[in-house]
Structure 1
């Protein structure tokens, strides 16, 4: 599987409420990265992920990759997602839709491979996106071992051009489906927030800091400030990272993409802007 695969999601999916394990996240993201966005896609298209792909991409051993893939195949069909959206852009008609990620999933034992079809409801949020979407390299989250870290990275990447995002604890718990858990902020901080931030800082191209905000005496909001990590050209070359004309990786550059813009158009525009500067 190519290492430069791009994940493109509607922001409705980024801000949806769902719970997936790390391996389930990896499978879904690998399949999303295979979606062709320049042609008509139906819910009959099969997307395939091999244990060897996961082992190479995520740095896990083959035996564990085979086991994880088989176990994930059993659970993925039951995984649901709640999406809040406005049909035809009409706020008064806002809907909260409960649906499934996939309509069916097969595990091919002899090949250590999983095949799935995305649900009909999900596909419009993955294809034909011309506005309100988030794009990043799959490799940015591939080494993360926390499902919360992957979600946090996506929530921050959605605001990549801003560099700051404030999230209420209530909203975060809903997005991560933590309702009923971690009623004490100290537990949420220790078990979810701090480990997630640590992994985003370690494995992704973002450098993240955060602080808590109170309403009265109670912590009610988290404020994340973030931006691309500063790397030297020598370090980037040693990491075999393709640099853009602006000196950024593709993941860092994606934050500046305009709706409907191709990678070639984005690189050309940043190169021109850099020359003008």
Structure 2
């Protein structure tokens, strides 16, 4: 699968309430990226194979096989909830599935699936409000919360700041029952997600909490593009320093040329 592919989702889908495993999310992202330039629909039987995931994410072939098999077992029963407000109607919550059918072909190491009809407008009819980013921004992340938080932040790329209500974030990530205290949420969700975003994505994020009265009710994130490495002031990098700057599948020679430094 070629690099520099784009992920494009409606803002409503980015902010929807759902919970996926890392493997399930990678399957969805791989399909969106692989179908770049095409209009996604509910009639096509899309295919994502293990070798494509290996090439895209940089994981082992065995891990890719296991992730795809697990995704095929779980994804059919996953649901998405989004606020729905059509002119003249009372606002409601719409709930639908990701896929209408899915199968795992073990001998070929691939998943075939059709998107659910109700999902298509959130992936295809993106005339106005949508979020787009290169898939390379998230492929090295191993936390589903990091990927989702990154999407929520790049929605506000033009301002470099986003304030998120904690109750809304828990509902959106569907983790309210798992992390009831703010300390647990920060320790197990927010801090690891920010660490991965700062390590693997092109933005640098800082964050703080905000109180309403005596209770912490919001998290405030401020972010900006990372400053590019300046070859004039840094001529060499160790492989340990350079490995986190490498793109999936990129050789040391290619990385050295792209950064303009010597990798020792």
- Global fold match (TM > 0.5): yes
The reply on whether 1:218 has 2:186 as its aligned counterpart is no
**CA distances 1:117-163 after superposition (whole Å, capped 9, x unpaired):** 11000001111311100001111111111010010000001111111
2:100 is aligned to 103
1:203 is aligned to 200
Rounded Cα–Cα distance in structure 2 between residues aligned with 1:197 and 1:103: 34
Aligned residues: 239
Shift in CA distance, 84/110, structure 1 to aligned 2, threshold 3 Å: same
Shift in CA distance, 29/240, structure 1 to aligned 2, threshold 3 Å: farther
Rounded Cα–Cα distance in structure 1 between residues aligned with 2:134 and 2:73: 27
CA RMSD, 1 decimal: 2.1
Q: TM-score if structure 1 supplies the norm length?
A: 0.81
2:31 is aligned to 31
- Which shows bigger deviation, 226-235 or 106-115? 226-235
Shift in CA distance, 142/93, structure 1 to aligned 2, threshold 3 Å: same
Rounded Cα–Cα distance in structure 2 between residues aligned with 1:68 and 1:239: 32
Shift in CA distance, 204/128, structure 1 to aligned 2, threshold 3 Å: same
Q: TM-score if structure 2 supplies the norm length?
A: 0.84
User: Residue 239 of structure 1: CA displacement?
Assistant: 6.7
The reply on whether 1:20 has 2:20 as its aligned counterpart is yes
Superposed, 1:176-195 pairs within 5 Å as 176-195=173-192
1:154 is aligned to 151
**Structure 1: gaps of 5 or more residues:** 243-277
Rounded Cα–Cα distance in structure 1 between residues aligned with 2:126 and 2:258: 27
Shift in CA distance, 156/91, structure 1 to aligned 2, threshold 3 Å: farther
Rounded Cα–Cα distance in structure 2 between residues aligned with 1:64 and 1:98: 31
**Structure 2: gaps of 5 or more residues:** 235-244, 246-253, 260-264
- Which shows bigger deviation, 178-187 or 101-110? 178-187
1:260 is aligned to none
